[in-house]
Structure 1
Amino acid sequence: MSERTYIGLDVHARSIVGCALNIDTGELTRSRFEDDLLGTAEWVRGFGPGVRVVYEAGPTGFGLARHFRAAGIDCVIAAPSKLLRAPGDKIKTDRRDAKILATMLALGEVTEVTIPDPGQEALRDLSRARHVASADNAHAKQRVNAILLRHGILFQGGKSRWTREHLRWLHQQHFEDPALEFAFQESLAQEESMSVRLKRIDKEVARVAADCRYTEIINALACLRGISTVGAFGLATEIGDWTRFNGATIGSYLGLVPSEHSSGETRTQGRITKAGNAYARLLLIEAATVHKRPYRRPGILELRQLELVSPATAARARQGNQRLHARAAALEERHKMPAKARTAIARELAGWCWSLAAPLQEGRPMAGR
């Protein structure tokens, strides 16, 4: 049988639909498997040693690709957002999706997703668990504030909330209506529970970050203003191999570059593409807000962080902090919209993160700028 066979798989939790395309004869071979990795692998092996397999990235994860690669089968995972589909194609089935994947793989039109090893995926899951806990805690706080606001009760102890003084004030609030009192106390108890949960996860992240494969990169990224140990841990685990990019492509990968619709002599740019890793993009945008604050010399916490890295990395990080603050100040002088200015800083911050992390992974000296 021909060695040039390309197989597309439409993978679901309990079923796999396969379509094999022989590009010499144009023959299509289809099959369906019900939650059977071994049977799927045997079917793929039957097409010879030169077979290539592809399936879309999705909630089923990377287990199937790892299983195929362990069995000596060349398997790639396609980025769903990069798959081409005809505008007039309004029929979507598992069989058609598998055929489209096989055809695109044969044409070399598949944009591959990097497959992390189990260790990196475990660290990534810890980082994402922290993100979920932070979001849950924020929502719990919003619910408590919403109840008080709806009944005209405002904290008079200053603008800062969720401080010790604010928490004492919250516990002093009571309502005459039993149902309302129960709802408020339950919301407050939930917030306290979420806060304890978040602190517990933060401790675990700090412990793991201090001794893992990305510790050196985490320490370097945390030298940049706005990026805490938790943020650096998230960026390091989400991106993994920084050497895949350069200073320009890292922003594109994270979806921080403008979208574009150009035709003929008309060139129109729109909002950022928001392609790629949404969590890493969020971490950078959150960090970008810090850089509009004045920056003359490193603070105590920054100095402690700079002591954890090499002199070359420390110098590069300080250069980045100065450049990013100057850039933020220039955008503010031009009266740029805050959201656009923040996004521009996040895009440049991504490049500075790359300039710190990539040389460490490559083992080369830190370059100047």
Structure 2
Amino acid sequence: MFTERTSVGLDVHARSVAAAAIDGVTGELVQAKLTPSHDHIRSWLEDLPGPVAVAYEAGPTGFGLSRALAAAGIRCEVVAPSKLQRPSGDRVKTDAKDAVHLARLLRLDEFTTVSVPTVDQENARDLVRAREDARGDLMRARHRLSKLLLRQGIVYSGGQAWTTTHDTWLRRQRFEASALRLTFESDYEAVLAVKARRDRLDEAIAAMAADSEFTPIVRRLCCLRGVSTLTGFALAVEVGDWHRFTGNTIGSFIGLVPSEYSSGTSRVQGSITKTGNTHLRRLLVEAAWHHRARYAPGKTMRDRWELATPAARVRGDAGNRRLNARWDAFRARRKRHVVANVAIARELAGWCWSLAVLED
């Protein structure tokens, strides 16, 4: 319940901040145009009738403003933009109107907040996302190189691509035309550079996963098939506070639940919503494919179990058996594999949640 006297809405941009304050006693509306400086915003808030509560939308400016206001003793809520309630007939959007709208929603408590990570959590999240960017850059660099060779009628047929043997084959390629030779060398150099950058990030993530506040969660998550150290660490830092979800709601947060349109007696379900964190959804979908094969714990899985607690090992083994049985059931029903895998990924998210909140 809103208890402060003044509710403030901030429409925050990189170079400007539109502010609107509503006094709950007099009903007065005060609007201002502020700079993004935290000190300037804080000094403006201190001149308002207190106590004051602030709300602004999550965006590219990050959580620095929220931390600065919290340190000054001002309640600050970071609002999820996709969950904001807006009038359907409103066709005029300005920064000032957005700030007033946020202030009114704050007073009514009609908003959905996002979880504000700590500085260490945000730094770890940035590291994981840098690795994800490197993965995408490497894929694109490899595609450019392979398609360049394909246009010249050169196709590798010596086995799996991007292995040591494939790399040796690439080094043997020679071109007479200087322009083509320079293009090939440029694309090949780009592949090597991005691969080296990805490997450096992998080493940094492995080191942090072995000795950080996320280590216990990562070791528990790695009890599931398809969840390696990189995947477990990414899940841990992207979700952050697992206790704000349940086994049922975690799938909705990641966007792995079916969309629905129901009216009256009709109920229509469509494809998955694909809302929330795209990175998490991709990791879980890729991990779900590992549960398709027959379940037989090997040395890699047992080595991961040795790092986890007995309760986590038992829980992980139960999850692996359950998900493999679900795959068998879908195959027996001749379910399309891509559809079945998404269903497995949704259930895998629930098993990850149960391991993340498991007490050591």
> Which residue number in structure 2 is paired with residue 26 of structure 1?
27
SS in 2 for 1:119: helix
Distance in 2, matches of 1:209 and 1:267, equals: 44
* TM-score, structure 1 as length reference: 0.93
Query: Alpha-carbon deviations, 1:256-294, whole Å to 9, x = none?
Result: 111111111111112222222222222111211211122
- Contact 1:254–1:280 (8 Å) recurs in 2: yes
Residue identity matched to 1:97: D
Aligned equivalent of 2:196: 196
Structure 2 CA distance for aligned equivalents of residues 118 and 48 of structure 1: 31
Q: CA deviation at 1:331?
A: 1.8
Check conservation: 2:288, 2:345, Cα contact below 8 A: yes
What residue number does 1:16 align with?
17
**Amino acid paired to 1:359:** L
Inter-partner Cα distance in structure 2 for 1:276 and 1:289: 21
- Cα distance in 1 between the residues matched to 2:46 and 2:269: 47
Q: CA deviation at 1:24?
A: 4.1
Unaligned runs of 5+ residues in structure 2 are: none
Q: Please say if residues 285 and 345 of structure 2, whose CA atoms lie closer than 8 Å, have aligned partners that are also in contact.
A: yes
Q: Distance in 2 between matches of 1:243 and 1:35?
A: 33
Q: Secondary structure at the match of 2:260?
A: strand
Take 1:36 and 1:188, find their aligned partners in 2: how far apart are those partners? 45
| Counterpart contact for 1:206–1:230, Cα < 8 Å | yes
Offset at 1:4? 2.5
**Equivalent residue letter for 2:250:** I
Whether contact under 8 Å (1:3, 1:47) holds in the other structure is no
Residues of 1 paired with 2:156 and 2:328: CA distance?
Answer: 33
| 2:51 alignment partner in structure 1 | 50
Counterpart in the other structure of 1:327: 326
Could you say which residue in structure 2 is the equivalent of 1:367?
none
The 8 Å contact of residues 312 and 358 in structure 2, kept in 1 or not, is answered as no
1:85, CA displacement in angstroms?
A: 1.6
- What is the DSSP-based 3-state SS (H/G/I as helix, E as strand, rest coil) of the residue aligned with 1:260? strand
1:118 is aligned to 119
Report how far residue 251 of structure 1 moved.
0.8
Aligned-partner Cα distance in 2 for 1:175–1:183: 10
Partner of 1:145: 146
- CA displacement at 1:307 relative to structure 2: 0.4
2:334 counterpart of 1:345: no
Aligned to 2:234: 234
Alignment of structure 1 residues 265-344 onto 2, 5 Å = 265-295=265-295, 297-344=296-343
Tell me which residue corresponds to 1:68.
69
Aligned pairs for 1:82-161 (under 5 A) are: 82-158=83-159, 160-161=160-161
Alpha-carbon distance change, 5 to 147 in structure 1, aligned in 2, over 3 angstroms: same
Partner Cα distance (1:86, 1:36) in 2: 31
Structure 2 match to 1:252: 252
Identity value in percent: 48
Give the C-alpha shift of residue 302 in structure 1. Answer: 0.5
Shift of residue 303 of structure 1? 0.7
Secondary structure in structure 2 of the residue aligned to 1:307: helix
Q: Is the 8 A contact 1:137 1:195 kept in 2?
A: yes
What root-mean-square deviation, in Å, do the aligned CA atoms of Structure 1 and Structure 2 show?
Answer: 1.5
Shift of 1:339: 2.5
1:81 is matched with 82
Q: Which amino acid aligns with 1:216?
A: P
Q: Deviations over 1:175-217 (max 9, x none)?
A: 3322122111211111011111111111111111100001011
Counterpart amino acid of residue 186 in structure 1: S
Mapped to 2, the partners of 1:3 and 1:322 lie a distance apart of 51
Superposition pairs of residues 163-182 of structure 1, within 5 angstroms: 163-182=163-182
- Superposed CA deviations along residues 70-89 of structure 1, whole A, max 9, x for unmatched, are 00000000001101122222
Task: Tell me the distance in 2 between the aligned counterparts of 1:50 and 1:255.
Answer: 38
Q: Supply the distance in 1 between the matched residues of 2:221 and 2:345 (Cα, whole angstroms).
A: 14
Paired residues of 1:328 and 1:341 also in contact (CA < 8 A) = yes
